[in-house]
A and B are shown apart, each in its own frame.
Chain A
């Protein structure tokens, strides 16, 4: 067993965990934060994207022990302090950037990382940055629109096909 201590959505947590415990297992099974989804479990789909020390990573391909001392942010920490949806989440709702919603936590976390580094991304930059996030419902157009809208840009230029 390995002792890990980290900050998750602003709260310090300390647990004894198996050496081979993945971050997805730590968040979902130990902390009961089930917003981080496990889609492929092979680092392809991006449903498990979280932020570790401000960087977007795939929680299925990282051990809990690797997050020792880290600041971790998950989808559960994304809403505003009063519980209302944050700008990105609201834009996903407004532009219907989801259908089944399974990929959405990862999409929102990836979008947040993109907009932090690149506050006004082009459509191409958004599509490029979403390379590691797979959505099987939407065809991505509304997701791209939502991220454009969340960055305060005009979405009407994006093709509707």
Chain B
């Protein structure tokens, strides 16, 4: 690792101030950032840990919306998001238990790894990303692989997930990394169905609108039978070709609809 200073503010205001310094970088749970630092893929002057800021933590359900603090760990979401079971299940399958005790929702969304699980949940739920300065709709937030609408030094304080009538997330796991080779989140709301796909596209998480239209008319696995996405634009690596990933999207969408019931 390159050398850097370390700061651990206890209030959001102090964190915003610390992140205002040149080349300062926020540290959530560090489960992606620390490995990146070890590989010298990042060279911050200062790391600002958000883990001591209590106001960023917690899970609450009110008025049909589940609000998760940006600094809430996957383990806590798994244990406390019972109002949105598909989201709790997603959290309980990220990485392994020790990783889930450190990694945070805000960290995952800020990083926007193209194979991360939370972006699919946020997009399929039509979630709102709340930051220290504004609220961003999920549809505007994800802007391609590792790219988001966040400005320099902007901190995700919470994520608001509208709770669907039915939902499920099915992940085809890459067994070594436990990231999604492909993951599909299906969420049914009174005004329609949303389908978000992670792990597949070179553009990162995306909505499969054709499947959404079919499923909004008929919420059954049969409704998306025969529907497929082209292999172009899908990630291709030693774990799976673009064509394989495109195929998995169809399979996992059907499984997710069946699991949502």
Contacts and interface: CB of A to CB of B under 8 A. Distances in A.
B98 A110 contact: yes
Given A57-B102, A132-B97, A65 B8 contact: yes
Nearest to B92: A128
B216 interface: no
B30 A41 contact: no
B4 interface: yes
Nearest to A69: B52
A55 B98 CA distance: 8
A110 B99 CA distance: 12
The 10 closest A-B pairs by CB, nearest first: A132-B96, A19-B6, A65-B6, A55-B101, A131-B96, A19-B5, A20-B1, A2-B6, A61-B34, A58-B98
A141 to B, nearest CB: 19
A63 B3 contact: no
A66 interface: yes
B22 to A, nearest CB: 15
Category for how many chain B residues contact A: 20 to 34
A133 B97 CA distance: 10
Contacts of A62: 30, 34, 102
Given A44-B176, A55-B75, A63 B30 contact: yes
Interface in B92-119: 95-99, 101-102
Contacts of A84: none
B102 A61 contact: yes
Contacts of A18: 3
A33 interface: no
Given A55-B75, A63-B30, A46 B98 contact: yes
A66 B38 contact: no
Interface in A45-68: 46, 49, 55-58, 61-63, 65-66, 68
Nearest to B103: A61
12 contacts: A2-B6, A19-B4, A19-B47, A43-B35, A58-B98, A61-B31, A62-B34, A63-B30, A66-B27, A114-B97, A131-B97, A132-B95
A46 B49 contact: no
Given A20-B37, A66-B51, A57 B101 contact: yes
B30 A66 contact: yes
A113 interface: yes
Given A2-B5, A43-B31, 19 more contacts: A2-B7, A20-B1, A20-B4, A20-B47, A41-B38, A43-B99, A46-B96, A49-B98, A55-B75, A55-B101, A57-B101, A61-B35, A63-B6, A63-B34, A63-B47, A65-B8, A66-B30, A131-B178, A132-B97
A41 B51 CA distance: 22
B46 interface: yes
Contacts of B37: 20
B189 interface: no
Interface string B1-23: 11111111000000000000000
Contacts of A65: 6, 8, 49
A71 B225 CA distance: 53
Contacts of B8: 65-66, 68
Contacts of A56: 97-98, 101
Contact of B98 (A2, A20, A132): A132
B57 to A, nearest CB: 13
Contacts of B4: 19-20
Interface string A105-117: 0000010011000
Nearest to B46: A19
A63 B96 CA distance: 19
Contacts of B95: 132
